Structure 1
Amino acid sequence: MDRTEPTSNRPASGWTRPKRFDRNLIVIGAGSAGLVSAYIAAAAKAKVTLVEANKMGGDCLNFGCVPSKALIKSAKVAHQMRHADHYGLEPVEPRVPFSAVMERIHKVIAEIEPHDSVERYTGLGVEVLQGYAKLIDPWTVEIALNDGGTQRLTTRAIIIATGAQPFVPPIPGLAEIGFLTSDNMWERLRDRPAVPQRLVVLGGGPIGCELAQSFARLGSEVTQIEMAPRLMMREDEDAAQFVEASIREDGVNVLTRHKAVACGTEGGEKWIEVEHDGSKRRIGFDEIIVAVGRAPRLKGFGLEELGIKVDRVVETNEYLQTLHPHILAAGDVAGPYQFTHVAGHQAWFAAINALFGDLKRFKADYSVIPWATFTDPEVARVGLSEAEAKEKNIRYEVTRFGIDDLDRAIADGSARGFVKVLTVPGKDKILGATIVGEHAGDLLAEFVFAMKHGHGLGKILGTIHIYPTLAEANKMVAGQWRRTHINSFLLSLLQRFQTWRRG
């Protein structure tokens, strides 16, 4: 993505800048980036309008993070029931009333919904308009209201936070047979009494892996199709192997290096055709989930008419400003990451630069970005992976601690995975950390904090960790690093000193 410097802070030529403005800021989109932007603007006593065409809370609350994690929890409980003998209990095959599982998911969404509601943000001082926004000129936004009518507002600044939607690959026949995505599956499967008997999951990234494992644990016969050589290509191979092995143990038929080439029906049965090593075969299914990535929502907002470049994302500079410096973008629509927490992080920079950019601007900081995939085991990472370090010719050392040797993990029956830390050669400065295991996403926070504030492994080693907890794994890997960097000369002197002390 080209983050070029805007040519000027002056009004774009060819447009007449209003002498007065209705608003200080208009935010388009009420997902994580939009909500945080509007919150900050209201806290700064700006007059701010938040426009959302669909549901408050955006993708994360309604279609992504929240419902998927609720599904994962139900699936994990079913898995534990099936393997209760692992804990000295009698195993039982769970009965899965799938409609009840889905109803619980919607209850979870409803319980969290007030945090992102119109009422809450109105109470914070944000004007919330529900409708479709379009930029008429660099300072004017027209809103086609959901309840009818239109409204035009002028504003000193605009933040585009329109999020992303599932990318649907151009596979012949896919649209005709009907497909599920992470956006529509929660409603389409809501009243289904049983899980889909035969399910195809197209995609081997985080979303595909989470859904494939969860549905398999709930009783579906799952086939996961991935064109790449392995699952989770963004992670190091050792981490991805743990996840793939676990998914296969749960019964998922993982087909890597398989390209989906066509879909159709025959005799009332849906099928997908895949190609592998030059040969093709068909796989029958009842439902297919397309999980091959998400594409930013870029069309219909009037951006291109204003000369704002949109390709994969809205083109911005390092201050999140577009060609028109008072129009900014944040979240999935801006890139370079598609994470809820990054969207919220960007929103601070976008809001501050939108409101106070004439006085001082702040560069968006991507130096320490963590993320996690919530499979079982989880995979969490911050900073460099080994593959990235090699690709960038960055020198590094690796220190690794196996979670199978951790007391709490053994007691919990979750003794699998590892903590892997990349450091500057000969120093404890952390370049990156990867954790595979139970609650990896939670455990990673200590490394995120350390990297953000310039602390090394020595500080983690010198911090008291409660025994017995999974968090001790972080201290253990720091201790492992220390043992491999002991000064042999000083050890020799110490031995001679102790010998002398004995007389």
Structure 2
Amino acid sequence: MKKPILFAIAVAVVLSLLLVLRGQSLDLDSLRTALDQLESWQEAHRWTLVLLFFVIYVAVAALSLPLAVWLTLAGGALFGFWQGLLIVSFASALGATLAFLAARYLLRDWVRKRLGSRAEAIDKGMRRDGPFYLFSLRLIPIIPFFAVNLLMGLTPIRALTFYLVSQVGMLAGTAVYVNAGTQLARLDSLSGIVSPPLLLSFALLGIFPWIANWLLTMFKRRKVYASWSRPETFDRNLIVIGGGAAGLVSAYIAAATKAKVTLVEAHKMGGDCLNYGCVPSKALIKSAKQAHHMRHADHFGLEAVAPRIPFARVMARVHQVIADIAPHDSIERYTDLGVEVLQGYARLLDPWTVEITLNDGTTQRLTTRAIIIATGAQPFVPPLPGIEDVGYLTSDTLWDRLKNRDEAPGRMVVLGGGPIGTELAQSFARLGSQVTQVEMSPRLMMKEDADVSAIVQTALEADGVNVLTGHKALSCGVTDGEKWIEVEEEGGETRKIFFDELIAAVGRAPRLKGFGLEDLGIRIDRVVETNEYLETLYPNILAAGDVAGPFQFTHTAGHQAWFAAVNALFGNVKRFKADYRVIPWATFSDPEVARVGLSESEAREKGIPVEVTRYGIDDLDRAIADGAARGFVKVLTPPGKDRILGVTIVGEHAGDLIAEFVLAMKHGLGLNKILGTIHIYPTMAEANKFAAGEWRRAHVNPRALAIVQRYHAWRRG
């Protein structure tokens, strides 16, 4: 039988019983009368009565009927304190567990679908603290017995744990009511059973596990710090190591809240994004796109021309863009904001002491209440035999190594098919290089759906990139002055590709070494190990940005920095868990790729049922007018619902278009809200509204349409 039918039957049974009970008199006098009628029968059939009472109590608790108090009093009156307590305690716990299991079977899947990704956070918290919550709720009489059973059934708490905690948690309250039942003849009202002092005692007993847990946490913290000597006073409230996105935001927040903060940066302020990543790559992409437009000017009714590309001037513009943005992240700006900026290398000597070796060779030691590790990441260079011999480039080094060249490299190999490799391969191809892109996986951009990879690969090949997916790099070398890389195809055949420059773009690895983390026992594997508050082994040492994971985006580094800074400065008062529910990202190829939330392939792997709505941007008026009529907007929703689980956009300005969906997901707005929002015509942003319209059209009720059609026919006469 289907769950909705079972649920409907259960509700009907409970409502029917409640209607029957509504006509009955439920008070102490009625209870005394009923017990008097049982007195003679009880003496002859005591054990039958025990069994019957037990079964009835279990059924009442399982059906969540409002009779538990009366039955508990009756248990005390019929069987005395100890026997009554034994019977009622086990019957109530068993009945509660049955109600718990019923709620789990009938309602949990439906509730989880409604909660979406929020269910995962609730599950995580309940797995950790569920028994504490349950125990506290069982000891607070004002919270209905049945509500606790039903609510807990929707959580991942184990049935055995629920039973045992309920058995223990309800014991004190059960004892009070059973004892009152033994004094039923002298009892005037229910209010006399539970006095305010007793309620307060229950509440204190309920929060005892939390107090104990807090004390245990404090003990563990003291144990962590036990081998270190804590300073009596501190030079700083916060020291931030690293002047990239995470470090700058952390220092800014500290200064804004009037904390005394020192920022330590060994190299360039602004970190990887400003100097080697986001900023220079986007400047290069823009120049490459202009060259592309010149070659294809005939698409816009103009005469196509082969652009002359003075590569040194292109690179000079890249460096000028960096210089123009640099003041936003400069030492001067942050000094004016109240941040002390020291240029040098920082090393932790203990949980509160940082030794800074300044760039002039001097050293300085500072004590601090808290430390934030924000050291970023660096390009990962695969350990290929001979790679050091060919003078490889990375996304960090190419900007300086190539800046004085009159022409772009003639033959270039880009090793890696992720976002960085894809952006660079397309840009250098458009600037005149003969580019071969080598990727070991079966397709480019493996984190995206296959249809996204296909569009991007088609675009790259149209720009002249030789895309070799399913090819594994084996080794590098130089023969007769010619640099080469040997690759292996999926079939096992190998070949050499000759090149002038090789860019290693296979990913980035966090900077973990040289900061003294290992000496303090802080675990570092792929990233610095932190908890949900971004705290390391030592709660006053936190990490944020690429070095902390799980994302390597500038915007998530800044996002994490807020949580790290606030927890570092005010964690003794209130801590905040880092929120990763809605994280967008983009690859700035042409066309751009942007995503937030689930992809189709991820939903399939996780077994999450989704409905896919797709709108082709080739149908959009503005895209047609701009000569950018390619790509799509793909939205994932629960079947039949407009709640957004994930969005992928491929097309012109996808990184900008995704923002509307990010806002919608963050604040729980569905596709109907986007459809009901006015979008300017003609703009690329209309693609979002039209995608919502596609979903709406697919969910029009055919019966309602038939009724409307008949209505219009009637109106015509």
TM-score relative to the length of structure 1: 0.98
Shift of 1:341: 0.2
Q: Are 1:149 and 2:362 matched, yes or no?
A: yes
1:234 to 432, 440, 447: 447
Residue of structure 2 equivalent to 1:452: 666
Residue of structure 1 equivalent to 2:228: 15
**Structure number, greater radius of gyration:** 2
Which structure has the higher relative contact order (CA within 8 Å, separation 6+)?
A: 1
Residue of structure 2 equivalent to 1:400: 614
Name the amino acid aligned to 1:186.
W
Distance 2:590 2:672 in 1: 30
Q: Are 1:363 and 2:577 matched, yes or no?
A: yes
Asked whether the 8 Å contact 1:134–1:142 carries over to 2, the reply is yes
1:75 to 279, 288, 293: 288
Distance 1:353 1:88 in 2: 58
- The aligned runs of 1:41-52 (5 Å cut-off) are 41-52=254-265
Q: Are 1:417 and 2:627 matched, yes or no?
A: no
Distance 1:140 1:19 in 2: 12
Distance 2:572 2:602 in 1: 37
Shift of 1:8: 3.8
- The aligned runs of 1:236-385 (5 Å cut-off) are 236-276=449-489, 277-385=491-599
Q: What are the superposed Cα offsets for residues 187-227 of structure 1, whole Å, 9 maximum, x if unpaired?
A: 00010111000000000000000000000000000000000
Asked whether the 8 Å contact 1:6–1:323 carries over to 2, the reply is no
1:206 to 411, 415, 419: 419
**How many residues are treated as equivalent by the alignment?**
502
Amino-acid identity (%)? 75
Q: What are the superposed Cα offsets for residues 5-53 of structure 1, whole Å, 9 maximum, x if unpaired?
A: 9984436120011110000000000000000000000011100000000
Q: Is the deviation greater in 273-282 or in 365-374?
A: 273-282
Distance 1:246 1:321 in 2: 43
Q: Are 1:225 and 2:438 matched, yes or no?
A: yes
Secondary structure (helix, strand or coil) at the match of 2:645 reads strand
Asked whether the 8 Å contact 1:6–1:321 carries over to 2, the reply is no
Distance 2:480 2:713 in 1: 86
Q: What are the superposed Cα offsets for residues 267-289 of structure 1, whole Å, 9 maximum, x if unpaired?
A: 11101111112111111100000
Asked whether the 8 Å contact 2:389–2:478 carries over to 1, the reply is no
1:492 to 680, 683, 706: 706
Distance 1:9 1:363 in 2: 18
Shift of 1:176: 1.7
Distance 1:192 1:418 in 2: 38
Q: Are 1:33 and 2:246 matched, yes or no?
A: yes
Asked whether the 8 Å contact 1:259–1:275 carries over to 2, the reply is yes
Asked whether the 8 Å contact 2:530–2:543 carries over to 1, the reply is yes
Distance 1:82 1:447, change over 3 A: same
Q: Structure 1 unaligned segments of length 5 or more: list them.
A: none
Residue of structure 1 equivalent to 2:154: none
Q: Are 1:183 and 2:183 matched, yes or no?
A: no
Distance 1:469 1:278 in 2: 49
Q: Are 1:121 and 2:307 matched, yes or no?
A: no
Distance 2:587 2:444 in 1: 12
Name the amino acid aligned to 2:301.
G
2:647 to 421, 427, 433: 433
Q: What are the superposed Cα offsets for residues 310-332 of structure 1, whole Å, 9 maximum, x if unpaired?
A: 00000000100000001000000
Distance 1:8 1:333 in 2: 25
Name the amino acid aligned to 1:343.
A
Distance 1:391 1:91 in 2: 46
Residue of structure 2 equivalent to 1:194: 407
Q: Structure 2 unaligned segments of length 5 or more: list them.
A: 1-123, 129-216
Asked whether the 8 Å contact 2:392–2:501 carries over to 1, the reply is yes
Distance 1:240 1:282 in 2: 25
TM-score relative to the length of structure 2: 0.69
Name the amino acid aligned to 1:286.
D
Distance 2:608 2:532 in 1: 24
Secondary structure (helix, strand or coil) at the match of 1:365 reads coil
Shift of 1:265: 0.5
Distance 1:334 1:408 in 2: 41
Asked whether the 8 Å contact 1:7–1:323 carries over to 2, the reply is no
Asked whether the 8 Å contact 1:461–1:479 carries over to 2, the reply is yes
Secondary structure (helix, strand or coil) at the match of 1:102 reads helix
Distance 1:115 1:9 in 2: 39
Name the amino acid aligned to 2:716.
R
Return the structure number with greater strand share.
1
